[in-house]
Amino acid sequence: MLKASLVLSPDYVIAPVRRRLFGSFVEHMGRCVYTGIHEPGHPTADEDGFRGDVLELTREMGVELVRYPGGNFVSGYRWEDGVGPVADRPVRRELAWHSIETNEVGIDEFVRWARKADVEVMYAVNLGTRGVAEALDVHEYMNHEGGTHLSELRRANGSSEPHGVKLWCLGNELDGPWQLGHKTAHEYGRLAAETARALRQAEPGLELVACGSSSSSMPTFGEWESTVLELAYDEVDHISLHAYYEVLDGDVDSFLASALDMDRFIDSVVATADAVGARLKSSKKITLSFDEWNVWYMKRFQEAPRTEWEIAPRVIEDQYDVTDAVVVGNLLISLLRHSDRVAVACQAQLVNVIAPIRSEPGGPAWRQTIFHPFALTSRLARGQVLRVETSSPTYPTKRFGDVPVVDAVATHDPETGDTVVFVVNRHQSEPVDLRVGLAAFGELTVAEAWTMHDSDSTATNTETDPDRVVPQPQKADITNGELLVALPPVSWTAVRLTNR
C-alpha cells in the first residue's frame, strides 16, 4: 500500500468558498431543454411544463447558478423569438448544433424555472451575429422595471417584476472558427468593451464576463486574453475559460491527472491578466469565470456529424463511469484550490447533454456517476478554502510526466467548526494509506465520510440501474491528532470533521 500525508491549518486560508463555483449550464442543445428541464405532459411536469423530477435533482445536486442560453447556440440566437405567446413564436434553423429550435422555452420560461430551482441566472448575450443594440434590448426586457417599450412587453408577457439578472457573458467562444460571427481578438475586444460600457450605462452594478480562449490548446491562447483585456480591462470583471477532458488513445493515467491541466490553464490566465493590469498600471484584479468544464468524449461526437434537421435530437449523451466521476471530483478540487481568482464555474451541461442528470421522454430521470462528487462538494464545502501541504508518491503519465498519486483540498467553517477534506487517489491499482495532520484544529471527530469507488472503474448508472454507483460510507479514524483514511484505487473521498 502506498503512503501519503496532508497537513492543514485553519490559518492557511486561500479565500472564502465561492458558492458560484457550483454552477451549471443549460444550452438549447440536444435534449438539455426539451425533454430535459421542460416536458409538458410528463408525469412529473408542473403547470409550466417543467419536469419535477429534474428540478428535484437539480436542487439535490446543489447547483447555485446556471449559465443560459449558450454556448455556441447563443451566437445565432434572436432572443425576441422566445418571448410572447408560444403559438406565435417562430421556428428556426439552429446552425451551431444543426437542429430545429421551436422557441417554446425562452427568457421568461427559463427565469421561472431558475426561480423554482433556486438558482441564479447567468445570461449570455449574442455578440456573434448581433451586437451592442441587441444587448441593450435584451437587458431592457429582462432588467428594466417598467415604463419603456421592452420592459412593458415583459410585463405584458406575464413577468411583472424585472428578472434582475446581474451576471452577463459578453458572447461565447468568439476565438473559435466554428463560432457564428467568429472574430479576431482585436475585433472582439473592441466589441466587448463597447457592449460593456453600454450595459453599465443602463445598469451600473452589472458583472460582466469577457470571452477568453475556448481552450488552452487554441493557437491564439494567451495572445487572445492579452489583446482582449488590453481593450476591455476597465470595463469587465471576469474573463472566461473553457476546458473538457476525455481519455485519449486509451491513456487513463493521464486522464486521471486532468486537474493538472486545469491548474496550469488557470495559472496561465491569471498571469496574463495580471500582466495586462500591470501594463495598464491598474490596481484592479480580473477574476476568472470557468463557465464550461466537464468530461466530454468529444472525439465520439466529432466522428458522427449530424446531417438531419430535428427538434431536440440526441446529442452527446455521454454515459459516465467511476473513473469519470473521480476526474470530476478532482476538477472540483482544482476549482476550490483557485478560489482566490476563480469567481464562477459552470459544469457543462445540466441535463442529458454531457450531463450529471439524465432523463428519458415520458420516463425517469437519474443521477449519473459525476452527479455525486458535485453534490457532495457543494453540500460540504463551506466557510474558507485552506491550502493543503501534500506529501505523495508519484506515478508516470505520458502527458504530464510524474504526477502525484494524491491530490487534495480542504475547507473550514469557523462558524460551525466543520473541516472537510476532499481527496483523490489517481492510481489505477494501488490503494493509499493517507494521514492528515489536524493538530492545529484542536479536538475533532469524524462526522461523515464518503468515497466514490467501485471494483469496476468502468461501472455506470443507467435507466434500469440508476444506483449502480453511489457514494459509499468510508471508514475514517482520528488518532493522536491525525486523520487516518485508506483510499482505494481510482477514488474520490470527502471527510467532514467537526469539533462539536
Question: Taking the chain, what is the end-to-end CA distance rounded to the nearest angstrom?
Answer: 33
List the beta bridge partners of residue 101.
92
**Which of 80, 173, 194, 225 is flagged as catalytic?**
173
What span, in angstroms and rounded, lies between the C-alpha atoms of 367 and 390?
Answer: 32
The Cβ of residue 204 has, within 10 Å, a number of other Cβ atoms equal to 7
User: What interhelical angle do 52-61 and 107-117 show, nearest 10?
Assistant: 60
**The three grid cell numbers given for residue 252, joined into one nine-digit string:** 487513463
Q: In what order do the strands lie in the sheet with 389-391?
A: 389-391, 2-7, 432-437, 482-487, 476-479
Q: For 325, phi and psi rounded to 5 degrees?
A: -65, -40
Cell 440536444 locates to 30
List the beta bridge partners of residue 125.
170
| 292 given a catalytic annotation | yes
| HEC secondary structure over the chain | CEEEEEECCCCCEEEECCHHHCEEECCCCCCCCECCCECCCCCCECCCCEEHHHHHHHHHHCCCEEEECCCHHHHHCCHHHHCCCHHHCCCEEECCCCEEECCCCCHHHHHHHHHHHCCEEEEEECCCCCCHHHHHHHHHHHHCCCCCHHHHHHHHCCCCCCCCCCEEEECCCCCCCCCCCCCCHHHHHHHHHHHHHHHHHHCCCCEEEECCCCCCCCCCCCHHHHHHHHHHCCCCCEEEEEEEECCCCCCHHHHHCHHHHHHHHHHHHHHHHHHHHHHCCCCCCCEEEEEEEEECCHHHHHCCCCCCCCECCCCCCCCCEHHHHHHHHHHHHHHHHCCCCEEEEEEECCECCCCCEEECCCCCEEECCCHHHHHHHHHHCCCEEECCEEECCEEEECCCEEEECEEEEEEEECCCCEEEEEEEECCCCCCEEEEEECHHHCCCEEEEEEEECCCCCCCECCCCCCCCCCCEECCEEEECCEEEEEECCCEEEEEEEECC
**Which of 134, 225, 235, 292 is flagged as catalytic?**
292
Quote the Cα angle for 325-299-328, to 5°.
15
What span, in angstroms and rounded, lies between the C-alpha atoms of 243 and 229?
Answer: 20
Active-site residues, by number, are 173, 292
